[in-house]
A = this chain, B = another copy of it.
Amino acid sequence: MDKNRIKYLRSLHQKKFRQENSEFLVEGNKLVNELMHADFEIKNVYAVNAEELDRGSIEVEHITPKELDRISTLKNPNNAIALATIPEPRMPDMDTIANNLSLVLENIQYPGNMGTILRLANWYGIQHIFCNAETVECFNPKVVQSSMGALYRVKVHYTDIYRLVEEATNLPDFGIYATHLEGQNLYETSLSSNGLIIIGNESQGLSDKISSMAVQKIKIPSYPPEDTGMESLNVAIATAVTVSEFRRRTME
């Protein structure tokens, strides 16, 4: 592989260059295999051993372990790396939003949390996640890695979440909820099957801006409900427990 190509692929470790070029990297046999069956445009697939991939008709270019090491974002690269186009998912219309349960992320910072949220959203059949621009970019290599392929199935939209929440306020049979330490007990709150669940920043929680909008604040009660010494749950954990309760009620 020529030096400029390696340099280009390495540049995609950085958000700036991913956005400039609308391309991102996917690593490891498992994720690359899944990518080849997903609805993404693949530019190149590189592998040390092409036989380890179920590549179908896709051409796999041979690279040396040393080249893999140079391109990879991982400490222990795993055979394959693919270059794919960053899709621009079309914003769903208000009708679609009105008939689904979706997530809204405000200022989520850590790639590991974002990846875990994507994975649980996929598990719980959430199709759309709306993020403000300050939320970590979902094509960050650590998000791609920790989402375990959920990124291929859940659509992530970077958009004006405040306008979205505003517009959703008047939808019928639709709830707008936000996890909040001062909220109402999740288990004692009536939950709509369709709605938005807003998740705030890891250490700051919700912004005043979104907090002051017409959202219903809910809290996951600790056990016992008195002081446990902990201030909060991890943000992905809180999201999972909340979404899980929404789905449990629907399945009842």
- A interface residues, Cβ below 8 angstroms from B: 112, 116, 119-120, 122-125, 148-150, 152-153, 187, 220-225, 228-234, 236-237, 240-241, 244-245, 247-248, 250-252
Interchain Cβ contacts under 8 Å between A and B, 11 examples: A120-B233, A120-B234, A122-B228, A124-B223, A148-B230, A152-B229, A153-B228, A187-B251, A236-B237, A240-B241, A244-B244
How distant is the Cα of A244 from the Cα of B220 in the complex, in angstroms?
Answer: 9
Residue from B223, B237, B250 in contact with A247 in the complex, judged by beta carbons closer than 8 Å? B223
Q: Which residues of B contact A124 (CB under 8 A)?
A: 222-223
CA distance A64 to B229 in the complex (A): 32
Cβ–Cβ contact B187 & A234, under 8 A: no
Cβ-defined contact, B229 with A116, below 8 A:
no
Complex contacts, A237 vs chain B, CB 8 Å = 116, 119-120, 236-237, 240
**Contact assessment for B112 and A230 in the assembled complex, using a CB-CB cutoff below 8 Å:** no
Considering the chains assembled together, what is the distance between the CA atoms of A220 and B125 in angstroms? 13
Measured CB to CB, the closest approach of chain B to A202, in angstroms, equals 11
Checking B240, B248, B250, B251 against A233 with a beta-carbon cut-off of 8 angstroms, the contacting residue is B240
Whole-angstrom distance between the alpha carbons of A221 and B250 in the complex?
12
Question: Could you say which residues of chain B place their CB within 8 Å of the CB of A152?
Answer: 229
A250-B229 in contact (CB<8A): no
Please report the C-alpha to C-alpha distance between residue A252 and residue B187 in the assembled complex, in whole angstroms. Answer: 9
**Nearest residue, chain B, Cβ from A243:** B223
Residues on B with C-beta less than 8 A from A112 are 112
Q: Which 3 A-B pairs have the closest CB atoms?
A: A223-B247, A125-B223, A237-B240
Contact A233 B149 (CB under 8 A): no
- Contact between A125 and B224 (Cβ–Cβ < 8 Å)? yes
Give the residues in chain B near A233, CB-CB below 8 Å.
Answer: 119-120, 123, 240
Bound Cα distance from A217 to B41, whole angstroms: 40
Output the least CB separation between A244 and chain B (Å). Answer: 5
Residues on B with C-beta less than 8 A from A120 are 233-234, 237
Instruction: For A222, list chain B residues within 8 Å (CB).
Output: 123-125
CB contact under 8 A between A229 and B187, given known A125-B224, A223-B124, A236-B237: no
The smallest C-beta distance from A245 to any residue of chain B, in angstroms, reads 8
Which residue of chain B is the closest to A153 with respect to CB atoms?
B229
The residues of B that contact A234 with a CB separation of less than 8 Å are: 116, 119-120, 236
